[in-house]
Structures are given as C-alpha cells and as structure tokens.
Amino acid sequence: MKPSKRLRSSYVTACVLITSLATAACGMPSARLDSPPAASTVSPPTVSTPEWETGGECSGDYLDPAEEMADLDSWWVLDVASATSGAPAGNSYDSTATHLNPGGLSSLENAVSPGEPVVVSNEAFSQLQASSTGEGIVGSNLSRSGTQIVHVIAVAAAEGRVKFLGVCTDRFEVPFRLMVEANHPTMSEVDVLVEAARTGDFSEFLDSTAGPDRQHWTQMDPSTRQFDIESTPEAILKELVAIEIEWRISSGWSKLSATLCGQTSIGWNTCLSLEAGDDQESIVLPAYYVPGEGMDLWLLDEEAAFPTPLAQVATITSEVLGASDRIVVEITGQPQTLEQAIDLLANEASRSEIVAIE
Amino acid sequence: MMPDGIRFNSMAARMVVGALVLSTVLVSPAALAFPKPGTSGSCGPDITYRFTGGGWNPGEKAAIRDGLEDWEVVLDFDGGKVATVTMIPDFGQIAVRKVATPNGGGVGWSSCGQGLIQIQEDLAIASMESVARHEMGHILDLTHTGKDDSFGGPTPAMATCVGLQGKAMSQDDYGGLIHKQTSQQREAIHANASFEQGTSWWGISNIASFFTTTANASDGTTSARIRPNSSTGYLFQTMNYAAAAGEPIDARINIRRLDSSHTGVMSFNILKRKVTYASPASCDYPTGKNQNVRSEGSWVVVRVETCTPSNSWATCTEGTLYTVPSGDAHDLRITVYSNVKTSSGTYATVAVDFARIRDRS
C-alpha cells in the first residue's frame, strides 16, 4: 500500500508504536530488526462490531495494563514518513517501516506487514511531537500472543500526546497520562513512552496503574483523619483513652441529614448520623480522647466531611472526660431545617440551652 | 435458623442467562465491589464443565481445574457449599478452551449464555489457574472487584486490571458469591456471616475472647462466642459492598446468652463511609470508574439496634431500613457489642451467629 500524498507531504504524520512477540529486542538502540514479521501471521482486525462490545462497555479480563506493556518482547516504531524520507541520521530506534494510512482498519494490517526496516531518530520524534496526528486509526481485538498479532498500539497524537488504540485502551491511556502528569510534567507523553520502550523500564507506569498506595494513618492530616480500627496503628489507639459517649438526640434533630462527630487534637472519632437516633432513646458509641485534653463535638454534613464542619456543638473538657467512663450528650430542641440547627448552634446562648453534657 | 428463600439453582434461574457475563452488566452507578445480582445472568450455583479443543497438557488441566473448582470453598450459612463446580468430560455445560486471543482481547473471557470459558493459550500454568478462577466467578454471576480486598487480604480473584500473580480467593470473592447465590434470597452481603468458616474476615476491638464453636449453633454447624474487655469492645466486619444508590439495607444478628444468670444487652451498628472511585474510566467497570483507585470518606454510624439476649437463640433485627445515599459507592461495616455481664459483674461470654447486613431491595 502506498502512502497517500497527504502523508508523503508531511515529514512525520503519525507514529505508531506496536508491540508484538517478534524476536527483536525491545527498541534497544543496538538491535536491528533484520527480519520483519511475516504477513501471514497477522490476523486482520474484525471490522464489524464485536459481540463483546455490544454491552457498551469494555469487556474481557485483563492483566494490569502496564504489566502487559512491560512484558512485551518488542516495540516497533513505525514511521509513516520513512518511506519517503529514508532513515534519518542519528539512529536511535530500531523500527519497521510501514505505510500507515490513518483512518482505516487496513492501516493496522499494514502496520504489522513487512516493510523496510528503518530507524526513527530522536529528531524524528521531536518533529512528531509538533506535527503528528494519530487520530482516525481504529483497532479492535488487538491482542495476541504466541503470534505476531498486534497487541498494543500507541499512537503519537498531536502535541506529543499518546493515544492507545484498540479495545478498551483507556485502561492504558488514563494511568499512563496520570503517571506522566505526576512524574514528568515537563515531558511529552510521547517522550516518556518512547523512553520506557527504549529502556524497557515501565516501572513508573506499573506504579501508576497500581493506584495510589493508601496513605498511612500517621501521615494524614490530624485535622481530617479518623480513628479507625483497621487503619489507625494499634500503638496510637493504646495511648488514647477509650470512653463511651451516650448520645440523646431529640426527634427534631434526628430528622436532619447531618452527623455528629467528636474531634481530638490527633483525629476524629467515628461519627453518628442524626438519622440513626430517630427511633432510639439514646445511642452509645465508643470514642477516644487524648489524655489530658478535651474533645470538641461538631455538626457535620451527612457524609461527615471533616474539612468543612457545619457548627460546633460543644466542647467536653478534659475534666469532664476524666471524671467518667461514659459521657452523656443530650441535644434538645426542634430545628426544622439544617440551617436552623446551625443557627441555633452558632449562638452561644441558644447552644447552651439545647446542648447538655453530663 | 431456617432459610427464608429458595436456592438459586432452579431451572428458571438457570434460564436467566445473559448473552455475556461481562459485557451485559448494567448496574446502577454505585454498584462496584460486588454489584446487585440478577443483572448479568447466571448459570446458577451448580456448574459442570468440560475441556474442549486441543493442545492441553495434564499440568494445564490440573491447574485450571484447581482454579475453576476453587469456588467450592465458599460455605453457605448452613455449612454447605454455595456453589459446586464439577468436571464432566464431554458433557459439562461450560466448555473450557485455550485460544490465542480470547474475546475482548484480554487474557480470559467467559460467557454463561454461550457456555464458554476462553483462556489465553500461552499463559504460564499458574496464570491459567488464576484466569480460570476469575472466569468461573463470572460464570457464577460475579462481576469485577477492586484490587484491594476488604479485609486486607490477597488481591481478589475477581479483580481486574491487575497482575495474575498473587490473586486468590478473598473476602470480597466469598462475599460476592454468597450475595449472588445463597438461598437467603441473596440478601446477606457478608463473607462468613454465620462463622461457618471460623473467624475469617471478622475483626475485633477490645475483645478479650473471640472464637467459634460447633456447639449449639443457631444455623449451620458453627457460631461465635465473644467476651469483651469493656463496653467499648466490639466484633466487626467491613465490606466493600458498593450498594446501589437508593438501595435499602438493614442488619440482623442471632444472639444468645450462655447462662440465665447473665444480664445485659447486645447491640449492633451499621456504619458506612463514602468511597469515591477515580474517574475517568481506566479499568473495566460498568460505571466507567476505576475501582482500583479510590479514596475514602468518614465512617458514620447510620443504624443502631439493641436487644436483650435470652437463654435460646433469638434474632435481633434493625428496625428501620437504611437507604444508601446516591452518588458514589459506600463501604459498609457491621459492629457487634455486648455489655452482658455475669452475676459477679464481669463481662460474660455471649453467643453470636449469622451476623449480617442485608440487601433488602
């Protein structure tokens, strides 16, 4: 297939990184792809809508996308301009020339067809970043292995972006993009991907797709973290004093969509939905406090968003906390709305009338 | 306690098959960890399978059998298997086939409706076992989970977009299968709600003694005994059950005191926390969210119930349904307290069985 005039007129219109299980080493500068893959081993993509796409979602069971990429034996860099421009000087990447014709499935077929071995230079990639458009290439059912069927295709799109092609490729694209933004804010996605392919080091991508590790409790902001049996270190909980808070909430308050939470200097206690008190005379919950310190009680929204408490309900002094194993907090009154409740609590006089601590 | 439903292996249920286990899942926006059942079709809890196609070697078949039949380890509230997975040469309902490229382009694919499991042929044997386990989960009507198990255990078998190594049956797999296939009208959303699998997946805080026993269970063959250190001690289980928005839940436990001289009450709470999954889509979830990347909100007690145990087993049921808020998903937790004391004033050991949050939709 001959490249179109439009393609020929552009030094680099699109670049496709294709992986397969071909024998060539993965983009190593010293390794040449002497023998292009045999066309007979390539299965043309299916044109009709695959049955497994009819549900409107990405289907199939996948490995971690980064592992899939990292485990591949080779990356081929395919440069549409190579047929007309020849091998640029300053070779950096082994590649296979192909006449990529953006806009059709046939381009994929061609992409893994025999072509001239060429090398794409760093310079070519830099131009690619400025001028390429990889849009319009559609792939489906792009895996597999044991053969030389295309497995993953990454297209260097406009402005240095990388677009993965094929089925469900957002599973590659999104974590890759997030990784680049986080780790290489000054680099283009193309550069990052090419470098990973060249060195075979996908560790950053692997880390990014694993998702952020849960932050250790001790590293969280004390003003927004919560004591939790499953995440707070046992050693910390042991340093705290465990008590019970008996909440007595009037029916007026229990109609509100809000929560009550106790805050200490190092974390919040488990919160109580006002709604839970609707059919209860009282509710007893365990709570922790820091020895020698008091505890602030707050009204929060129904999700208990700690950064944005709605109003302070009361402060339980250290003296009161130290005097008993059970603190009774009684909230009376009949606020009709959450706003009214906040107003009541905002006024010290009305707050002292409706909140009692024993 | 007797089951209040029917097993989901009726002919009618078997006929409720989706065209594809994976691709036809259409669940409400917050259904993530193990979504509401009945939306994707199921081959029922009793599966037979056969190997088909050529190229098998004994090692591969053995590994795949291990993976497929691993689901039999999940026990129901009555101590029986929730699902059976049996190989019947030539006649099994699900054909297991090695292919170069499974449908969908991944490492495995399954369809209850087509009676087919495809496994990528060039995988390592250990990986084939992992894929087989995962695909059988789909045949049993489970959808994908996130990579983090609710109990901090191994990566769930039903996780996707993760490496195959290290995946194993986890709390979420157990809980998902129980929720989908048990005879309790698929209400219970817990793994090991009735302690048939010992103390697995139950945690304790300030509890002096927690064990299970086969003596005098209220259902099945085992029940639990707890003795708190103080009134703040509790037994708990957390689950990444991302109930659908607007879905009503409640909780119920079976309780009993061990001596008529013991006095006091037992209570249980339902807690929830909002969980936000990353967007835009990255992995394969019906909601377009990446369940492998999540952030968690604050734990909030949303329901409380208190009962007085007697000398015989009795159920203690939350009196008011809790409707899961709309928006993102929520983790759920059940906590069980006791302030039952002996005549001398020390905390007494009490019996607990079938402690669970229920999906009441």
User: Measured in whole angstroms, how far is the alpha carbon of residue B326 from the centre of its chain?
Assistant: 22
Report whether A269 contacts A288 (CB < 8 A).
Answer: yes
Between B103, B234, B300, which is nearest A60 by CB? B103
Least confident piece of the model among A118-122, A335-339, A348-352, B197-201: A118-122
- Whether A9 has a pLDDT exceeding 60, the answer reads no
Contacts of B110 in chain A (CB under 8 A): 61
Contacts of B108 in chain A (CB under 8 A): 60-61
- Whether A62 has a pLDDT exceeding 90, the answer reads no
- Whether A357 has a pLDDT exceeding 80, the answer reads yes
Using the beta-carbon criterion (under 8 Å), do A62 and B230 form an inter-chain contact? no
Phi-psi region of B21 (alpha: psi -120 to 50; beta: other; left: phi over 0): alpha
Which one-letter DSSP state was computed for residue A30?
T
Using the beta-carbon criterion (under 8 Å), do A64 and B161 form an inter-chain contact? yes
Q: Which residue of B has its CA nearest to A58?
A: B284
Task: For strands B300-307 and A271-273, give the pairing.
Answer: parallel
Least confident piece of the model among B24-38, B207-221, B314-328, B341-355: B24-38
pLDDT value at residue B220:
83
Read off the pLDDT band of A70 (50, 70, 90). Answer: low
Report whether B203 contacts A230 (CB < 8 A).
Answer: yes
More confident residue, A272 or A39: A272
Least confident piece of the model among A150-159, B114-123, B211-220: A150-159
Q: Which residue of A has its CA nearest to B301?
A: A272
- Whether B237 has a pLDDT exceeding 80, the answer reads yes
More confident residue, B357 or B283: B357
What gap in Å lies between CA A9 and CA A7, rounded to an integer?
A: 5
Name the A residues in 274-303 with CB < 8 Å from any B CB. Answer: 275-276, 278-280, 283-286, 300, 302-303
Q: Which residue of A has its CA nearest to B238?
A: A230
More confident residue, B194 or A30: B194
Query: How close B300 gets to chain A, by Cα (Å)?
Result: 5
pLDDT value at residue A209:
52
B221-242: average pLDDT: 91
More confident residue, B271 or B143: B271
Mean of pLDDT over chain B: 82
pLDDT value at residue A145:
34
pLDDT value at residue B262:
97
Residue B13, chain A, CB below 8 Å: the answer is: no
Using the beta-carbon criterion (under 8 Å), do B293 and A304 form an inter-chain contact? no
Read off the pLDDT band of B3 (50, 70, 90). Answer: very low
pLDDT value at residue A287:
96
pLDDT value at residue A208:
55
pLDDT digits (tens, 9 = 90+) for B194-219: 999 999 999 999 999 999 999 989 88
- Whether B54 has a pLDDT exceeding 80, the answer reads yes
DSSP string, B282-347: -S--TTS-EEEEEEE---EEEEEEEE---SS-EEEE-SS-EEPPSSSEEEEEEEEEE--B-TTSSB
Read off the pLDDT band of A257 (50, 70, 90). Answer: very high
Q: What are the beta bridge partners of residue A316?
A: A295
pLDDT value at residue B95:
96
Task: For strands B314-317 and B322-323, give the pairing.
Answer: unpaired
pLDDT value at residue B6:
27
Read off the pLDDT band of A206 (50, 70, 90). Answer: low
Report whether B316 contacts B338 (CB < 8 A).
Answer: no
What gap in Å lies between CA B246 and CA B236, rounded to an integer?
A: 24
pLDDT value at residue B276:
81
Q: What are the φ/ψ torsions at residue A154 (nearest 5 degrees)? A: -120, 130
Name the token pair of A201: 């080091």
Least confident piece of the model among B2-6, B47-51, B171-175: B2-6
Q: Which of B21, B22, B23, B171 is the best mutation test for A, with the most CBs of A within 10 A?
A: B23
pLDDT value at residue A118:
30
What gap in Å lies between CA A73 and CA A235, rounded to an integer?
A: 47
Q: Nearest to residue B159, comparing CAs of A124, A203, A105, A209?
A: A209
User: Measured in whole angstroms, how far is the alpha carbon of residue A110 from the centre of its chain?
Assistant: 34
pLDDT value at residue B288:
55
A71-86: average pLDDT: 41
More confident residue, A122 or A296: A296
pLDDT digits (tens, 9 = 90+) for A171-181: 667 667 777 88
Report whether B217 contacts B223 (CB < 8 A).
Answer: yes
What gap in Å lies between CA B38 and CA B43, rounded to an integer?
A: 11
Read off the pLDDT band of A61 (50, 70, 90). Answer: low
Residue A351: CB partners within 8 Å, gap ≥ 6? A313, A314, A344, A345
What gap in Å lies between CA B297 and CA B276, rounded to an integer?
A: 8
Q: Residue B45 is which amino acid?
A: P
Using the beta-carbon criterion (under 8 Å), do B230 and A270 form an inter-chain contact? no
What gap in Å lies between CA A329 and CA A332, rounded to an integer?
A: 10
Using the beta-carbon criterion (under 8 Å), do A174 and B280 form an inter-chain contact? yes
Q: Which of B28, B119, B160, B300 is the best mutation test for A, with the most CBs of A within 10 A?
A: B300
pLDDT digits (tens, 9 = 90+) for B294-310: 788 999 999 999 999 99
Q: Nearest to residue B187, comparing CAs of B76, B81, B269?
A: B76
pLDDT over 90 for what percent of chain A? 35
Between A52, A168, A278, which is nearest B20 by CB? A52
Name the A residues in 79-118 with CB < 8 Å from any B CB. Answer: none
What gap in Å lies between CA A271 and CA A228, rounded to an integer?
A: 11
Read off the pLDDT band of A197 (50, 70, 90). Answer: low
B264-280: average pLDDT: 86
- Whether A231 has a pLDDT exceeding 80, the answer reads yes
Helix boundaries (H) for chain B = 11-15, 58-69, 125-139, 171-181
What gap in Å lies between CA A165 and CA A10, rounded to an integer?
A: 22
pLDDT value at residue A181:
81
